[in-house]
Amino acid sequence: MEDLLDRLRRLACGRRLLDAAGAAGGVHLVGGAVRDLLLGHVPRELDVVVEGDVDALAAALGTVTATHERFGTVTVRDGDCRWDLAAARAEDYAHPGALPVVRAASIEEDLRRRDLTINAIALDLAGGELRCAGHAFDDLQARRLRVLHDASFRDDPTRLWRIARYAARLGFELEPHTARLAAEAVAGGAPERVSRARIGNELRLALREPDPVAALEHAVRLGLAPWLAPDRDRVEAALRLLPDGEGRADLVVLAAALDIVAGDADQRLAGLDFSAAERAVLRAAARAPAVASEALAARRASQLAHVLSGLPVEAVVLAGAGGAAEPVRRWLDELRHVALRIDGDDLLGAGVPRGPQIGRRLSATLDLLLDGELADDRAAQLATALR
Ligand code: ATP
């Protein structure tokens, strides 16, 4: 098998890391990066644990762009490269679900605090030696997700969400004992002990997965989010309608999972730390079934425009996925681009007093243009708007 250090060296940021780490020892690549290298995947990020001076390695790599005092971790960047460095540490939990209390430790102890065996492997950057906790190599080989100890989910129930993501991304199965522990933790109310803000964070991470619907499906199957009902067919139909470069696919996925169960998107989203703009999209998308009916009932282009204009594109495509694909496609491809050749200034210039009737006249004129009852001609449009 090709040496893991060679694999790492073939990545530009991996080579930089190896050069900075030098031959001194005590610097380890850890977590998902080693797992991914062993699986022959390109690591999504490079996490490094140092038994020794984190600051010296940081200085050799680039600029520290973030420091998390509590966990002794720093983010270092240089050009397109980013590394997350941490001092080797152990974590103790004051009570279930609490943030851990951290103390300095050896790399072996550091590996034992991790979530899953497949993430508890360290690659020594000086000699290429691999260390692991538990059955890491067997589990990787057998494509199994296994926690490192029985109290794992009680200590940190967000690990259940992590399992949902890994199951979706890697296609690994839960090892039976871990599956039992997960079921017991869920039955014992572990998911409810996680703060709303952390659930929001886990939800956003799930939505960033290559297959976010699968990640949500696993979360539901594990009992983490009975308030979600992911719907792959609906998402795929909606995403097929989403114009290139427009809208947020992640919000389409979430909205499709939310609005089947929950008419009240606001209540579902409370405390999950979605931005006001994101909540507005999700709120509008929750009305997609009603919008679909209205779009199907519209007999004229102008009526369709009144139903769909002003709605976020995510809500529009979800309405399309709800049976109104044809009118939605017509709106997106054609009708929404129809514009008058006159504007409010033209009406003011022609003597119409400032006020709401400017908007009313323009809107009525646009309706005629949309319905094919008015020429695409400035003079004709002005005459109509002034009638
Ligand atoms: P990715 O999801 O991008 O593949 P990853 O598997 O490396 O990344 P991260 O969230 O980046 O996961 O965390 C890095 C490593 O830190 C994990 O591989 C795991 O070893 C450890 N870790 C992260 N979160 C937890 C947690 N809640 N409990 C225990 N260990 C954790």
Instruction: Report the pLDDT averaged over residues 60-81.
Output: 91
Which residue minimizes the CA distance to atom 7 of ligand 1? 32
Q: What is the mean pLDDT of residues 63-91?
A: 91
Which residue's alpha carbon is nearest to atom 27 within ligand 1? 159
Please report the pLDDT score of residue 2 as a whole number. Answer: 61
- Residues with beta carbon inside 6 Å of ligand 1? 31-32, 44-45, 47, 114-115, 119, 156, 158-159
* pLDDT at 381 exceeding the cut of 80: yes
**First-to-final CA distance of the chain:** 81
Measured in angstroms, how far is the CA atom of residue 21 from the centroid of ligand 1?
A: 22
Q: Does 261 score more than 60 pLDDT?
A: no
pLDDT at 48 exceeding the cut of 70: yes
Q: Going by CA atoms, what residue is nearest to atom 28 of ligand 1?
A: 115
145 CA to centre of ligand 1 in angstroms: 13
- Whole-number average pLDDT of the chain: 94
Average pLDDT over residues 89-112: 85
Q: What is the pLDDT of residue 92?
A: 80
Residue 181 confidence (pLDDT): 98
- 119, 148, 159: which to mutate for ligand 1, most atoms within 8 A of CB? 119
pLDDT of 218: 98
Q: Which residues pair with 83 in a beta bridge?
A: 46, 76
pLDDT at 101: 83
User: Which pLDDT does position 70 carry in this prediction?
Assistant: 75
Say what percent of the chain tops pLDDT 90.
86
> Which range, of 91-105, 152-166, 356-370, averages the lowest pLDDT?
91-105
Given a cut of 60, is residue 95 above it in pLDDT? yes
Task: Return the ligand 1 atom nearest residue 45 CA.
Answer: 3
Ligand 1 atom with the smallest distance to the CA of 166 is 2
Confidence bin at 262 (pLDDT 50/70/90): very low
Closest atom, ligand 1, to C-alpha of 43: 4
Residue 166: pLDDT above 50?
Answer: yes
User: Looking at residues 334-351, what average pLDDT do you find?
Assistant: 96
120 CA: nearest ligand 1 atom: 20
- Name which residue sits closest to atom 30 of ligand 1, judged by CA: 114
What is the 32 CA–ligand 1 centroid distance (Å)? Answer: 6
Q: Whose CA is nearest to atom 15 of ligand 1?
A: 31
pLDDT of res. 37: 97
How far is the centre of ligand 1, averaged over its atoms, from the C-alpha of 136 (Å)? 14
Rounded to the nearest angstrom, the distance between the alpha carbon of 319 and the centre of ligand 1 is 37
Tokens standing for 56? 């010296």
pTM of the model: 0.91
The residue nearest atom 8 of ligand 1, judged by CA position, is 32
Nearest-CA residue for ligand 1 atom 12 is 32
For residue range 171-205, list pLDDT tens digits in order: 999 999 999 999 999 999 998 899 999 999 999 99
Q: Ligand 1 centre and the CA of 186: distance in Å?
A: 21
Cα 252 from Cα 291, distance rounded (Å): 15
Residue 259 has what pLDDT? 58
